[in-house]
A and B are shown apart, each in its own frame.
Chain A
Amino acid sequence: MIAKSGSKRWVAAADQAARKAGVRVGMPAAKAQAIFRDLMLVDADPMADATALERIALWALTVYSPIVAVDGLDGIVMDTEGADHLQGGEQPMLERIANRFRGKSLMVRVAIADTWGAAHACARAIRRETVIVPRGETFRAVEKLPLSLLRLPEKIVDDLRMLGFRSIGELANTPRPPLSLRFGPEVGRRLDQMLGHLAEPIEPIRAPEWIEVSRAFAEPIGAAETINKYVGRLIVQLIDELERRGLGVRRADLIVEKVDGTRQAIRAGTAKPARDVAWLTKLFKDRTEQIEPGFGIERLKLVAVIAEPLVSAQYASCLVEEQTPDITPLIDILGNRGLRIFRLAPVASDVPERSVRRIGAAVEPLAETWVSHWRRPVRLLDRPERITVIALMPDHPPRSITWRGKRHQVIRADGPERIFGEWWKRDAEFDAVRDYFLVENEAGERLWIFRSGDGVDPETGDHAWFCHGIFA
Chain B
Amino acid sequence: MSAARETVLADLRERISALEGGTAWRAGFLPFGVAEIDAVLSGGGLAHGALHEFAGGGSGTVDGAAAALFAAGIAARTNGHIAWCLTRPDLFMPALAQVGLHPDRVVFVEADREEEVLASMEECLSYGGLGAVVGELVRLPMVASRRLQLAAERTGTMAIVVRRWRRQTEANDFGQPTASTTRWRVSVLPSEPLPVEGVGRARWLLELIRSRAGECAEFEVGACDDKGRIHLFPRSLDRQNTASRSRHSA
Contact = CB atoms under 8 A, between A and B. Distances in A.
Contact of B92 (A322, A337, A377): A377
A174 interface: no
B134 interface: no
Interface string A319-354: 000101101011101100101111111100000100
Contact of B188 (A330, A331, A352, A444): A444
A316 interface: no
Nearest to A370: B94
Given A339-B116, A345-B103, A330 B124 contact: yes
Contacts, number: 166
Contacts of B120: 334, 337, 339
A361 B107 contact: yes
Interface in B72-119: 72, 79-81, 83, 90-98, 102-104, 106-111, 116, 119
Contacts of A365: 104
Contacts of A343: 103-104, 106-108
Contact of B199 (A345, A355, A361, A438): A438
Given A337-B120, A472-B188, A472-B223, A327 B103 contact: no
Contact of B248 (A324, A369, A373, A382): A373
Contacts of B189: 444
A412 B194 CA distance: 10
A356 interface: yes
A380 interface: yes
Contact of B108 (A344, A355, A379): A344
Given A333-B123, A471-B202, A379 B90 contact: yes
Interface residues of A, number: 53
A341 B97 CA distance: 19
Interface in B17-36: none
Nearest to A331: B107
A375 interface: yes
A443 interface: yes
Contact of A342 (B68, B110, B123, B247): B110
Contacts of B127: 327, 329-330, 333
B107 A446 contact: no
A108 to B, nearest CB: 28
Contact of A470 (B65, B106, B128, B199): B65
B103 A472 contact: no
Given A376-B98, A446-B191, A472-B65, A414 B103 contact: no
Interface in B148-197: 187-191, 197
A216 to B, nearest CB: 34
Nearest to B59: A445
A366 interface: yes
Interface in B222-240: 223
Contacts of A325: 80, 128-129
B58 interface: yes
Interface of B: 58-60, 63-66, 68-70, 72, 79-81, 83, 90-98, 102-104, 106-111, 116, 119-120, 123-124, 127-130, 187-191, 197-200, 202-204, 223, 247-250
The 6 closest A-B pairs by CB, nearest first: A325-B129, A472-B69, A380-B92, A365-B104, A472-B66, A378-B65
Given A342-B108, A412-B199, A472-B204, 11 more contacts: A339-B110, A340-B108, A361-B108, A369-B103, A378-B95, A413-B197, A444-B187, A444-B202, A471-B65, A471-B95, A472-B66
